[in-house]
Amino acid sequence: MDSEYLKTFVTLAKEKNYTQVADSLYISQSSITKRIQKIEKQLGVNLFNRNTKSVELSKYGYIYLEYAEKILQLEQECLKKIDQAVVHDNSLIIGSIPSIGQYGISKEITNFIKDTGAEIKIITEPSGKLENLLHSNQCDFAFIREVKDRKYFKRIPYAKDRMMAVLPKNHRLANLRKISISQLEKEFFLLEPKGSRPYNLCVNLCKSSGFLPNVVYTERQIENIVDLVADGMGISLLMSKLVPKKSSRIVAIPVEPTVSTSISLCYMSDENLTDLKRKFIAYIKNR
């Protein structure tokens, strides 16, 4: 049985909610259904008792859950042993949030390659996916915004940034020196992808200010968000370093009270550090 299918089953068994599972695993609800149905077809039994509001494990589901968790645990132990047995003397896999250029991450990695001659593969994914990649030993390090699974990772502070309200140049609030979230209640919002940490942060800030934002567009490419803001489609909430500095069509105003986020270089707490990994850690610490 495919371990991704097992992971989907275990996650649904615990969350009991298709939407939450889809968000945490970055797959569609239809994909979840297909995976569960394939397992059930192979076993010849129903693993869940379904109703319109939630899903609950059947008696067969409880039996299967016990062994599915054991299989996934054994797989992780196996992958870890194999990884430890393979020589990684001169190669690293480094993950990063998509804004790799804006925060100088690509420059730091390039300079490290020049200094050491190391072979480095770079993976760009949202922070939640990067944490999963670290857990599954699919990357050695990851530059992550607002780390969630702190107890599993060692973290090296890399950068901090603050939130800005990004408005069209001719917006009614464009001349303010600072702006509160409550002042944006009637606006159309253009945000980063739904379910991402930047998206959730923006939505939660609006909720804390007493309203649910009217999100009319989501996009991974920041340039597209900025272009649409400039065209007057709506406004956005972005971190300062993501906002183009030379655009004459938009303004970026600091949000007050200050909303800041941090980016950290992360690796597993139980990571078996090679000499090259130690060098990279030291390089980031001393930059």
pLDDT in tens, 272-286: 888 899 999 999 999
Q: Per the structure block, which two tokens stand in for 27?
A: 């797959």
Mean pLDDT over 161-188 rounds to 96
Answer yes or no: are the C-beta atoms of 239 and 162 closer than 8 Å. yes
* CATH of region 160-261: 3.40.190.10
Any idea which fold 3-84 has?
Arc Repressor Mutant, subunit A (1.10.10)
99-128 pLDDT per residue, tens: 999 999 999 999 999 999 999 999 999 999
Average pLDDT over residues 126-140: 93
Supply the pLDDT for residue 87: 52
Where would I find the H helices in the chain? 3-15, 18-25, 29-43, 59-85, 105-116, 127-135, 197-208, 222-230, 275-286
- Residue 86 pLDDT > 70, yes or no? no
Whose CA is closest to 2, among 27, 17, 20, 16? 27
Q: How confident is the model at residue 51 (pLDDT cuts 50, 70, 90)?
A: confident
Structure tokens at 110: 């390039």
Query: Residue 50 has what pLDDT?
Result: 82
The verdict on whether omega for the bond into residue 257 sits within 30 degrees of 0, i.e. cis, is yes
Average pLDDT over all residues of the chain: 92
Whether domain 91-159+262-286 has CATH 3.40.190.10: yes
What are the beta bridge partners of residue 237? 165
254 near 137, Cβ under 8 Å?
A: no
Domain boundaries, the chain: 3-84, 91-159+262-286, 160-261
Distances (CA, A) of 112 to 130, 142, 282: 21, 15, 11
The two domains 3-84 and 160-261 share their CATH topology (first three levels equal)? no
Contact between 254 and 164 (Cβ < 8 Å)? yes
Mean pLDDT over 230-237 rounds to 96
CA distances from 52 to 38, 49, 55, 238 (A): 21, 11, 8, 37
Q: Using 50, 70 and 90 to split pLDDT, how confident is the model at 54?
A: confident
